[in-house]
């Protein structure tokens, strides 16, 4: 088990985190047209963060105001629709998506679809079971902001039968210490379960008890062993993950626990378990035990005191059910107990498209009318969700993916081509024919790999740039049926390896004989 990293943290008697700390981040009420304050938190409408989809009102009864509206998106296979939210570069964010179907597609059951964060496939959204019980569903992860914005996207997969939707989206900035044994430059964390084990209630522990509004679900009513009084005075500020103090007020006394209450897919997992003894018991009595997961020692001779203790593993392999066994140490007076736990699947990040290419495509999108509706988020990743008309490199010499072709033929696009398109220096082909593009043809001479350029059947005007003749790799140039004037550059007409089409539909003259 050399790949497993265990971190053993004893809790110091420090000042506890103030429950009055406000949430730092952006809480988006999807489909809403006005802002609102719910449970002391400010929620904003979503129009500023997305430019596709349709707001809809849920007509069934809801348990929270944020579930009363959704934004719905077209059911188009492997097209993604993305919220793009400003963040602090280098910040670590808890990202949570919430879904409540409410019959917005006029079907009895909700659709199944995919969700993504930036260029990383996050997972499949399947809210069918929860919705049948009248519940909403949420998905939570921890991701690093690698730029000034982060995107969360939904998209149809082969199982999607009606329009994907989303009810709410949250970006909450986390403290530096939280989950800091994970290399967030390479990995993200996708929450599987987070429980307060001794809690027999029905409501989640969240904000303001947890200043980051993580949800700690009660587990006590599902457990086979009994719950006991915990420690109401634990100072949580010494725990790296800063669990809320309320988690320690009750505990589960047990020798064995099947947790989480779902079967796990074969992967590696981040696991954090939290313990604290009851200070009202005699201090000389010890509570020491081994923690074993699926027959493998997770932590030996764990000494649980009233100050509290946490045990972490940042990459533990699991598949199927997870059984936690607590074996009391010889001479230990009191039996095992546990207060809380978190388990995340460790996700490999999907990479990112080269920033220069992203900016160039965004400039193209912003300078045209009627661009494809999925032109948001990362242009190339995840692979099966690249932007309409965009083809990307299969591999790179560096850490970033490049855009290698652009095909928007017959897409009904109007507007002009920005000069920034020349920054897509890995392009080998551009197909923009049969649209309503106008203005001057930009300088493409920086595209040293360009082989094909189709601009036919548009409304381009002015002269043909002579700089096109400087592209040594160019083999096909179609410019017919525009409003071009002037002479055809001689370095184009004298290039025997170039398939050049300039007529009909222009007002051009050939260059004089040399």
Q: What is the pLDDT of residues 200-257, one digit of tens each?
A: 888 899 999 999 999 999 986 554 558 788 788 888 888 999 999 999 999 999 999 9
Mean pLDDT over 412-420 rounds to 96
Q: Residue 444 in contact with residue 450, Cβ under 8 Å?
A: yes
At 294, is the pLDDT very low, low, confident or very high (cuts 50, 70, 90)? Answer: very high
Residue written as token pair 């043809």? 441
In 3D space, the residue among 475, 473, 431 whose CA is nearest the CA of residue 456 turns out to be 431
Mean pLDDT over 102-120 rounds to 95
pLDDT score of 10:
34
Helix residue ranges, H only, 197-339 = none
Count the helices and strands in the chain (H runs, E runs).
Answer: 3, 40
- Residue 320 zone, left/alpha/beta (φ > 0; ψ -120 to 50; rest): left
At 161, is the pLDDT very low, low, confident or very high (cuts 50, 70, 90)? Answer: very high
In the predicted model, is pLDDT for residue 5 greater than 80? no
| Mean pLDDT (the chain, rounded) | 91
pLDDT score of 16:
33
d(CA 277, CA 236): 14
In the predicted model, is pLDDT for residue 94 greater than 80? yes
Mean pLDDT over 423-432 rounds to 97
d(CA 479, CA 506): 8
Q: Residue 436 in contact with residue 461, Cβ under 8 Å?
A: no
d(CA 98, CA 68): 12
In the predicted model, is pLDDT for residue 3 greater than 90? no
In the predicted model, is pLDDT for residue 511 greater than 80? no
Mean pLDDT over 368-379 rounds to 95
At 189, is the pLDDT very low, low, confident or very high (cuts 50, 70, 90)? Answer: very high
In the predicted model, is pLDDT for residue 512 greater than 90? no
d(CA 413, CA 437): 7
Q: Residue 189 in contact with residue 270, Cβ under 8 Å?
A: yes
Mean pLDDT over 18-44 rounds to 86
d(CA 172, CA 31): 20
CB burial string 43-81: b at 16+ within 10 A, e below: bebbeebbebbeebebeeebeeebbbbbbbbebbebbbb
pTM of the model: 0.91
pLDDT tens digits, 318-362: 999 999 999 999 878 888 999 999 999 999 999 899 999 999 999
In 3D space, the residue among 69, 39, 34, 76 whose CA is nearest the CA of residue 54 turns out to be 69
Q: Per mean pLDDT, which range of 81-90, 131-140, 202-211, 476-485 is the poorest?
A: 202-211
- The three-point CA angle 185-186-189 to 5° equals 95
pLDDT score of 500:
96
d(CA 445, CA 356): 17
Tokens in use for 231?
């420690």
d(CA 323, CA 325): 6
Local structure of 42: helix, strand or coil: strand
Mean pLDDT over 98-106 rounds to 95
In the predicted model, is pLDDT for residue 104 greater than 90? yes
d(CA 314, CA 474): 51
């Amino acid at each position: 088990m050399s790949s497993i990293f265990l971190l053993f943290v004893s809790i110091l008697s420090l000042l506890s985190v103030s429950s009055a700390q406000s949430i730092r981040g952006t809480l988006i009420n999807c489909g809403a047209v006005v802002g609102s304050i719910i449970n002391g938190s400010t929620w904003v409408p979503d129009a500023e963060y997305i430019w596709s989809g349709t707001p809809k009102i849920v007509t069934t009864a809801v348990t929270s105001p944020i579930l009363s509206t959704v934004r719905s998106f077209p059911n188009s296979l492997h097209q993604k629709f993305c919220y793009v939210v400003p963040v602090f570069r280098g910040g670590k964010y808890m990202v949570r998506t919430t879904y409540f179907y409410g019959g917005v597609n006029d079907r009895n059951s909700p659709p199944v679809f995919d969700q993504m964060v930036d260029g990383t496939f996050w997972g499949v959204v399947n809210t069918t079971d929860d919705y049948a019980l009248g519940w909403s569903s949420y998905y939570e992860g921890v991701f690093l902001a690698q730029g000034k914005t982060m995107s969360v996207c939904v998209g149809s997969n082969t199982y999607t039968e009606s329009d994907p939707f989303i009810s709410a989206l949250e970006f909450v900035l986390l403290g530096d210490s939280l989950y800091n044994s994970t290399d967030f430059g390479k990995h993200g964390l996708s929450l599987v379960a987070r429980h307060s084990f001794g809690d027999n209630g029905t409501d989640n522990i969240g904000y303001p008890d947890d200043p980051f509004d993580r949800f700690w679900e009660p587990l006590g009513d599902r457990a086979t062993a009994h719950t006991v009084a915990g420690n109401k005075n634990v100072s949580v500020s010494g725990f790296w993950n800063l669990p809320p103090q309320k988690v320690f007020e009750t505990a589960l006394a047990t020798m064995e626990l099947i947790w989480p209450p779902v079967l796990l897919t074969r992967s590696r997992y981040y696991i954090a378990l939290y313990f604290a003894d009851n200070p009202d018991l005699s201090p000389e009595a010890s509570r020491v035990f081994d923690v074993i997961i699926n027959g493998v020692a997770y932590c030996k001779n764990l000494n649980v005191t009233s100050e509290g203790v946490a045990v972490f593993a940042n990459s533990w392999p699991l598949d199927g059910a997870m059984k936690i066994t607590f074996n009391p140490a010889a001479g230990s007076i009191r039996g095992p107990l546990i207060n809380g736990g978190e388990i995340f699947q460790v996700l490999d990040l999907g990479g990112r498209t080269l920033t220069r290419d992203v900016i160039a495509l965004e400039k193209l999108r912003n300078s045209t009318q009627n661009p494809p509706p999925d032109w948001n988020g990362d242009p190339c990743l995840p692979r099966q969700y690249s932007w309409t008309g965009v083809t990307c490199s299969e591999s790179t010499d560096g850490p970033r993916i490049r855009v290698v072709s652009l095909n928007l033929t017959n897409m009904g696009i109007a507007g002009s081509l920005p000069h920034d398109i020349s920054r897509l220096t890995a392009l080998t082909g551009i197909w923009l024919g049969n649209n309503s593009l106008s203005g001057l043809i930009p300088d493409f001479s920086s595209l040293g790999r360009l082989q094909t350029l189709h601009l036919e059947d548009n409304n381009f005007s002015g002269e043909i740039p002579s700089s096109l003749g400087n592209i040594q790799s160019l083999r096909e140039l179609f410019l017919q049926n525009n409003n071009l004037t002037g002479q055809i550059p001689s370095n184009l007409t004298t290039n025997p390896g170039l398939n050049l089409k300039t007529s009909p539909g222009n007002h051009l003259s050939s260059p004089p004989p040399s």
